[in-house]
Structure 1
Amino acid sequence: MNKAGFLHIPDSRYCFAISDDEVVIRLRVAKEDQELEISLVYGDKYTYHQHQKEVPIPFKCTDAIYAYFEIRLKLTDVRLTYVFKVQDGDNCWYYHENGFSEQYDFAYAFYNCFQLPYINPIDVHRVVDWADSAVFYQIFVDRFYRGDAEKNDAYINMAWTDKPLPKSFAGGDLEGIRQKLHYLKDLGITTIYLTPIFSSISNHKYDIRDYYDVDKQFGSKLSLKQLIDDSHDLGMKIILDAVYNHSSDLLPEFQDVMNKGKASPYFDWFMIDGETVDQKAINYETFAACSYMPKFNTSNLDVQDYLLDVTLYWTRKFQLDGWRLDVSDEVSHDFWRRFRKAVKAVNPNIIIIGENWHDAYPYLQGDQYDGIMNYAFTKACIDYFATDTLSSQEMAERLNHILMRNTDQVNRMNLNLLDSHDTHRFFTQIGGSRDKLLAAVALLFTYVGIPCLYYGTEIAMEGGYDPDCRRCFNWDKVTQDNDLLTLFKKIIRLKELPALQKGDITITAQGDVLSIRRHTPSQVIELLINKGQEREISVGQLVIANGLTNTNLATHGFLIHHLL
């Protein structure tokens, strides 16, 4: 037994409440110790020294290095105390805060047992009530569809079919999205996530100069209200993009600092080295190294108040369903805690999705975001389908590792994606393989969390890195006889299955075949993806497949079937 592989941390991703009286307990061990027999010896805080219960902890999964055991407990007393009992052949160990011992004196457990002292309902991270059935669709507004034929279009400098340049404008707008709502509804989309819509001189609008106005290229506040109202009438939701790490240098408050230097009342809203702004030397903090995007000082309470006022204005007035938070890992934790309390007070079922590309656990403990844009999932799909650097076994381990980073609630609200406005188009990365694209989308819709399609993925849009990944939507492909789009719709509809909404997950591999099983007591759905040579597959009640002939599954083929 490798004692160094053991890890448990109370009140963390290894021990967390999922309701007012239910907890999940995880124990990490070395991968080679996955055959150990492990039990939880537990009780309530004040009688544990006299009375203990013992229950075996099931093996959950492995990643590349570790194995995980996990149990869900329903409590009658929410003051939980516990230790782990580990059976290694004829040897028995107890694992507790002090490490390992062959015996454990429960009479003195209050010194070194693990504990979850009390479940306070306000501290429980709640899953928004629509997240499990959600299907997101990200739209880069300028490139989706132009609906307003009467607007001033003097700013448009590219043809719809051109490849975009960094400063290209194509003319897409909010009215265009409104006119295509029935297309999105028919596709199976439940939630539209828009890149920024506020006043800005760029095509992407991530450099905002007026946080209280819709950019005129996209429409008006009335355009936004009509889009949101019509979406809600169709049972669809709208998520806006909050750019609070930085602004445009045209923001009036930054302009005031440029003019007055340290005499400006807004000087401390930004982080400036010196008493005046020098845009050539860039003596102030920025987004990346962009002089035209000064970084807000989100440790400043006045900045926090300003940004919260902006948030509440749009959230209340337009009945928003959520916010995506740009560059959210560079904004202060303190601000996000205030942000969460403010928007959840308006509507506890507003979803908050952070743009964190890495392990975001410090932000995901129920006091800041609900989930993140799950770029770890994106990278796993690139490694498995595009660069061929992961075998099916390694892919199973990678996907398990991502799940074990987070609590159950976070996994259910993470936004899983194959690509976005910040990446290469996935279809281009996989060399234009229709089979790989369909298999990847099948994985996207069977993995735990919220699937998010970047606009045009359903018609196999291509593109390299920014700005090539931001091409205009090719509406001609929708009106053509499109077998790919038909298959996409079938895969998207699978999200309506109970097992794919709230089912537990088991991820394994047998040889070249990756298996994703989602299971409830009454339903088991399995996805099989074949990365190797054509092989015979045992097929249950078939739901959907690509590359399946009789019972033979082709290379890069997939099938989804009922096992129960």
Structure 2
Amino acid sequence: MRVNKKFLYLIVTLSIILILTHSCALLQLKKKTEIPEPSSNTMYSLLIRSFYDSDGDGIGDFRGVAQKVEYFKELGIDTIWFLPFNKAKSYHGYDVEDYYDVEPDYGTFEEFKEMLKILNENGIRVVMDLVVNHTANTHPWFKDAVENTTSSPYWNYYIMTLEDKSGHAHWHWKMNSKGQKVWYFGLFDLSMPDLNFSNLAVMEEVKKIIDFWYLVGVDGFRLDAPKHYMGWDWDDGITQSAQVARQIESYIRTKYGNDVILVGEVFDGNPSVLSQFAPLPVFNFTFMYNIRSNYEGQDNLLQNAISWVNSNTYYLASYHFPFIDNHDLDRWISVLIDQKYSGNVTNGTKQYLLTNAVLLSLKGIPTIYYGCEIGLRGWKWRTDPWDMPVREPMQWYTAQSGTGQTYWTKSVYQAKNITFGNANVDGAMYDEPNDGVSVQEQENGYTILNFFREFINLRKTYPALSKGTITVERDWKNLIAIKRTYGSQEILVLINLDPQWSNTFTVPAGYKWVWYAFFNDTNFEFGPKNEAPLGQNTNWTVNPRQIYVFVKN
């Protein structure tokens, strides 16, 4: 049969146009998010389900997040790490059922993209939680592998066998329709089967997932549990896991550049473990453990907590991610008030703000967890409902109710017959109406919210504080002195964590006092200062629980 050459030419031309159009469309989906300068270089972590509800069903959603963009801007943050938003089996999202779709409770894919667009247009970058250590046991790959065993294309996506693994830690089984008992490895839980990174096809799938979401528009990724990509127990196979994590870092950096935000959750306080994952940046668990253990100060606190972060071992522009709170920990303010200070709210709150000032003075991208900025309380339970109490609804209103207030936990607690803290009534174990812990109650005055707003915006106002080099001038129990330098600008932050003993520091001539916080004795105040630059070197007394910020241009 003869083919008309003109017709063939037309078909080929149209095909090329379609391919180019599709490629251009994909490229247009992702442009680098422009962060207005100066920026705070501060990341905010949130669980969408608990944040802000746009449709009145009590569940936070994409549209709700977009509606709070002005709140984020007032707070001063310029990056949001979203806990998982893929379609998942559980409320927390760490058991993914579909890597290419969003959680229906949060809205549609189009609503996700609209949220992304609004955040990006307002100079806020979006970091996606990439959960690829394991999937849900309801993921189609896993279901196919269980049903079809060795003939399934996904059999080797997991660590599976028909051999009896009774008595072996972290091995579980499911029965398929043929009556076969299929054994599989799942470190975290029987509902979370581990993916098999010994299979190269799994890494190729991970690359596809990364490419998909980067082209959709996310600005970076938080890697969940990379410490456990390999190995058979919690501290097993770390070297091999680090090799896998470095492959992912190399792929992302090589393809998308050094400005991508990428950080791994290596849940370990040992610097020698964290360092193995370089050049993949990781959250600084060493800092978290050190500051929580030495909240009233300790000699060499920062030396022990941050000196292991060697800039020469990283390629990405952002490589240090210090934090104090996250979704897996007892909320820090609860630990301080309830445990460390035996119910003394004032002293616990003072120490909470002082330790967070240290966090926000560090180089890198300090990360705060939603609700920390209002002192939201929460303790993990050692039984059901486990971690849910530290992931409860963000509190917006004095009365715990109003437009956008989430309350998804209420029905969960009712179903579990949990009445502690009236949780079955308001969905919050550790929050009550009129308790001072809400955005509405903290809009004015010397509040936790305004402390966070002011300090984060100091990072925005003074580039040296957000992206300058760091020199620790003093690292004593009763005096931390941090010097940050960016171009011709220098910032000096003096913090005394000690509740009893003062210290002194010689502030060089030319520095100007621009901000303070006094929590010593009965004081509880903070705010800007507008003093003239010092005409000479000045011996400055830093009393217990005081903060001073100086600038030199």
Give the alignment's TM-score, normalised by structure 2: 0.68
Which of 528, 541, 547 is the equivalent residue of 2:512?
541
Tell me which amino acid in the other structure corresponds to 1:440: T
Q: 1:402 Cα shift?
A: 3.5
- Please say if residues 245 and 287 of structure 1, whose CA atoms lie closer than 8 Å, have aligned partners that are also in contact: no
Contact 1:444/1:451 (8 A) holds in 2: yes
Match in the other structure for 2:551: 562
Confirm or deny that 1:278 pairs with 2:173.
yes
Sort the Cα spacing of 1:171 and 1:521 in 2 relative to 1 into closer, same or farther, 3 A: closer
Whether 1:233 and 2:121 are equivalent positions in the alignment is yes
Query: What corresponds to 1:84 in structure 2?
Result: none
Alpha-carbon separation, structure 2, partners of 1:298 and 1:516: 42
Q: Is the 8 A contact 1:239 1:324 kept in 2?
A: yes
- More deviation, 409-418/306-315: 409-418
Matched, 1:249 2:137: yes
Structure 1 pair 424–207 and aligned structure 2 pair: CA distance change class (3 A): same
Q: What pairs with 1:453-532 in structure 2 (closer than 5 Å)?
A: 453-465=368-380, 466-476=387-397, 477-480=438-441, 481-482=443-444, 483-484=446-447, 485-496=449-460, 497-500=462-465, 501-510=467-476, 512-520=478-486, 522-530=488-496, 531-532=498-499
CA distance in 1, matches of 2:53, 2:85: 14
Return the match for 1:143 from 30, 50, 63: 50
**Aligned residues with identical type, % of pairs:** 25
d(CA) in 1 for partners of 2:503, 2:470: 27
Measured against aligned partners, the alpha-carbon deviations of 1:41-90 in whole angstroms (never above 9, x if no partner) come to xxxxxxxxxxxxxxxxxxxxxxxxxxxxxxxxxxxxxxxxxxxxxxxxxx
What amino acid sits opposite 2:440 in the alignment? T
Shift, 1:412, TM fit:
4.6
1:440 aligned residue? 355
Residue of 424, 430, 443 corresponding to 2:336: 430
1:291 paired residue among 179, 182, 190: 190
Local SS of the residue matching 2:204: helix
Decide whether the 8 Å contact of 2:52 with 2:394 is kept in 1. Answer: yes
Q: Distance in 1 between matches of 2:317 and 2:293?
A: 21
| Matching of residues 90-489 of structure 1 within 5 Å | 133-149=40-56, 153=57, 171-274=59-162, 278-279=173-174, 283-288=183-188, 290-316=189-215, 318-331=216-229, 332-333=241-242, 335-348=244-257, 349-358=259-268, 359-365=273-279, 369=280, 371-385=281-295, 391-403=297-309, 407=313, 412-431=318-337, 432=345, 433-465=348-380, 466-476=387-397, 477-480=438-441, 481-482=443-444, 483-484=446-447, 485-489=449-453
Shift in Å at residue 547 of structure 1? 1.3
Q: Would you say the 8 A contact 1:517–1:527 is kept in 2?
A: yes
Displacement of 1:210 = 1.1
Deviation of 1:534 after TM superposition, in Å, equals: 5.3
Change (3 A) 1:129 1:401: farther
Distance between the aligned counterparts of 2:376 and 2:201, measured in 1?
43
Segment drifting more, 431-440 vs 408-417: 408-417
Distance change (3 Å), C-alpha of 1:310 and 1:275: farther
CA apart distance, 1:498: 2.8
Partner of 1:339, secondary structure, is helix
2:433 aligns with: none
SS state at 2:484 partner: strand
SS at match of 1:528: strand
Q: Distance in 2 between matches of 1:441 and 1:140?
A: 21
Q: Which has the higher strand share?
A: 1
Residue 263 of structure 1: how far off its partner (Å): 2.6
Most deviating of 260-269 and 405-414 = 405-414
Mapped partners of 2:275, 2:475: distance in 1: 27
Asked whether the 8 Å contact 1:435–1:546 carries over to 2, the reply is no
Structure 1 pair 493–409 and aligned structure 2 pair: CA distance change class (3 A) = farther
What's the CA shift string for 1:396-448, capped at 9, x where partnerless? 43135333597476795222111100111111122142211221221112112
Query: Which amino acid is 1:265 matched to?
Result: P
Code of the residue aligned with 2:439 in structure 1: it is V
- Over the aligned positions, Cα root-mean-square deviation in angstroms equals 2.9
Q: How far off is 1:245 after superposition?
A: 0.3
Q: Identify unmatched segments of 5+ residues in structure 1.
A: 1-127, 154-169
Higher helix share: 2
What is the CA-CA distance between 1:333 and the residue it aligns to?
Answer: 4.8
Q: Is the 8 A contact 2:89 2:138 kept in 1?
A: no
C-alpha contact 1:515 1:528 (8 A) present in aligned 2: yes
Contact 1:136/1:453 (<8 A) preserved: yes
User: Residues 486 and 203 from structure 1, CA distance in 2 versus in 1: closer, same or farther, beyond 3 angstroms?
Assistant: same
Which stretch shows the higher mean deviation, 467-476 or 553-562?
553-562
Which stretch shifts more, 520-529 or 414-423? Answer: 520-529
Is the Cα contact below 8 Å between 1:135 and 1:191 reproduced in 2?
Answer: yes
The alpha carbon displacement at 1:179 in A equals 0.7
SS in 1 for 2:513: strand
Between the aligned partners of 2:263 and 2:487, the Cα distance in structure 1 is: 30
Cα deviation for residue 557 of structure 1 reads: 2.5
* TM-score, L = length of structure 1: 0.67
Matches of 2:157 and 2:549, distance apart in 1: 53
Alpha-carbon distance, 1:267 to partner: 1.1
Aligned-partner SS, 1:475: coil
